[in-house]
Amino acid sequence: MSNETLATAPVLRFAPSPNGALHLGHAYSALLNERLAAETNGRLLLRIEDLDRTRCKPQHEAAILDDLAWLGLRFDAPRRRQSEHGDDYASALARLETLGLVYPCFCSRSEVERASEGRRDPDGAPLYDGTCRGLAQDEARARLARGEKAAWRLNMRRALDAAPAPLVWSEFGEGAIPYERSAEPSVWGDVVLRGRDLAASYHLAVVVDDALLGVSDVVRGRDLLAATSVHRLLQELLGLPAPRYRHHRLVLDTNGAKLSKSRQSLSLGELREGGVSPGEVRAALGFGAAGSGSDAVALS
């Protein structure tokens, strides 16, 4: 690995998006970060991932802070908001543009969908066919100058050529012994790094954020495992440190489905209103003497 080994006290972060209420899956991730920070004498930071201003609301952020305080979580620095760091994302994108690794894409969502012919990326979004990749620079500049909105995409072929091989990361899962996992960013195609109306996509923002905060250990759900391939590629292209990764299990409901905001899973606030205590939540998730640590959690 080209990046230097991180040798200082571990830095971890919990990074919720204020686009809805926290549920038990969020609580599990936050508490696992807390446990690992305590076990390693590390620092635990809070980052609010609020780039999507149409969905992220102040009332959701306030509720998140209340829920975390109710659980007894304490953080080692004031919370940091992504919305305050647009210049940092722009600088990273400009560096990639200088290297010839990004390009503007003027395709609409419907056009991308039609051209994908049903092919999907790991998130289930239509896989981009590269329509704008070969657009002449003069034409692209002229369209931007006319005020046409564009997303900025990573030229995956060029990016892979520019990155070291093999591209890997150190993965712990929920264990104590790491193993080397190979990154496969090509399955994402020419991934979006900045949307038409966003300062940065999740992929670019999280990589820049983790570097700015000095995050040494990324602890997050297995649903983001595939995304780590893109993150490792961007870290190498931008010359950023590579954290250690710990992708943990997902908390399931009693029917075996993943908890999520879109499924309207029971929120922490609703559990609080129903008389559930913080200790009961911790125990049910495996962070207390009575906790079973099982994948399925039922609280009422």
Residues constituting the chain: 300
- Write down the mean pLDDT value for the chain: 91
pLDDT, position 289 = 57
Strand partners, 219: 246
SS3 at position 148: coil
Q: Which residue range forms the structural domain that includes residue 58?
A: 1-81+251-300
The two tokens of residue 91 are: 């600088």
Q: Is the peptide bond before 243 cis (omega within 30 degrees of 0)?
A: no
151 and 265 both lie in a single domain: no
Q: Do 203 and 142 fall into the same domain?
A: yes
- Is residue 241 helix, strand or coil? coil
Task: Look at the chain and report how many structural domains it folds into.
Answer: 2
Residues 110-152 have pLDDT tens digits of 999 999 999 999 999 999 999 999 999 999 999 999 999 999 9
Based on the domain organization, do 206 and 92 belong to the same domain?
A: yes
Domain boundary among 177, 210, 243: 210
Other C-beta atoms closer than 10 Å to the C-beta of 149 total: 12
Catalytic annotation present for 149:
no
- Indicate if the pLDDT at residue 291 is higher than 50: no
Q: Which helix (H) or strand (E) holds 4?
A: none
Tokens at residue 258, please? 């993943």
Estimate to the nearest angstrom the gap between the alpha carbon of 48 and the chain centroid.
11
List, for residues 244-255, the tens digit of each pLDDT value.
Answer: 999 999 998 766
In this prediction, residue 77 carries a pLDDT of 87
CA distances from 74 to 9, 62, 89, 253, 280 (A): 18, 15, 28, 27, 18
Cα–Cα dist 84/50, whole Å: 9
pLDDT of residue 53: 86
Q: So what's the pLDDT on residue 112?
A: 96
- In this structure, are 4 and 52 located in the same domain? yes
Strand partners, 1: none
Phi first, then psi, for residue 267 (nearest 5°) are: -85, 165
Q: Please return the burial class of 226, using the count of CB atoms within 10 Å of its CB with bins 0-12, 13-18 and 19+.
A: middle
In a domain? residue 25: yes
Are 132 and 149 contained in the same domain? Answer: yes
DSSP 53: T
pTM of the predicted protein model: 0.91
Residue 40 makes CB contacts below 8 A (sequence gap 6+) with: 9, 10, 217
Catalytic, out of 57, 149, 258, 261: 261
Is 235 part of a structural domain of the chain?
no
Residue 214: how many CB atoms within 10 A of its CB? 16
Q: Beta-carbon neighbour count of residue 61 at 10 Å?
A: 18
**Separation CA 120–CA 133 (nearest Å):** 18
Residue 123 and residue 186 in one domain? yes
Place of tokens 């599990």: 28
73, 96: one domain: no
**pLDDT confidence band for 107 (50 / 70 / 90):** very high
CATH code (residue 206): 3.90.800.10
What is the pLDDT at residue 8?
A: 81
Which residues share a beta bridge with 102?
154
pLDDT greater than 70 at residue 201: yes
Weakest-pLDDT range from 105-109, 252-256, 276-280: 252-256
Say whether pLDDT at 293 is over 50: no
| CA-based R_g, the chain, Å | 20
Residue 205 lies in a domain: yes
Q: What is the pLDDT of residues 1-48, one digit of tens each?
A: 334 444 589 999 999 999 999 999 999 999 999 999 999 999 999 999
The CA-CA-CA angle for residues 89, 95, 97, to 5°, reads 105
| Mean of pLDDT values over 39-60 | 95
**Is residue 223 situated within a structural domain?**
no
What is the rounded CA–CA span in Å between residue 116 and residue 129? 6
CA–CA distance, 48 with 228 (Å, rounded to integer): 19
* Cα separation, 191 vs 201, whole angstroms: 9
Residue 232 falls inside a structural domain: no
pLDDT in tens, 151-196: 999 999 999 999 999 999 999 999 999 999 999 999 999 999 999 9
Torsion angles phi and psi, residue 221, rounded to 5:
-70, 160
Task: Give the pLDDT score at 2.
Answer: 39
Indicate if 266 and 198 belong to the same structural domain.
no
Q: How confident is the model at residue 257 (pLDDT cuts 50, 70, 90)?
A: low
Q: Once rounded to an integer, what is the mean pLDDT over residues 207-229?
A: 98
Residues 192 and 126 in one domain: yes
- Find the mean pLDDT for residues 59-81: 95
User: Does residue 236 have a pLDDT over 60?
Assistant: yes
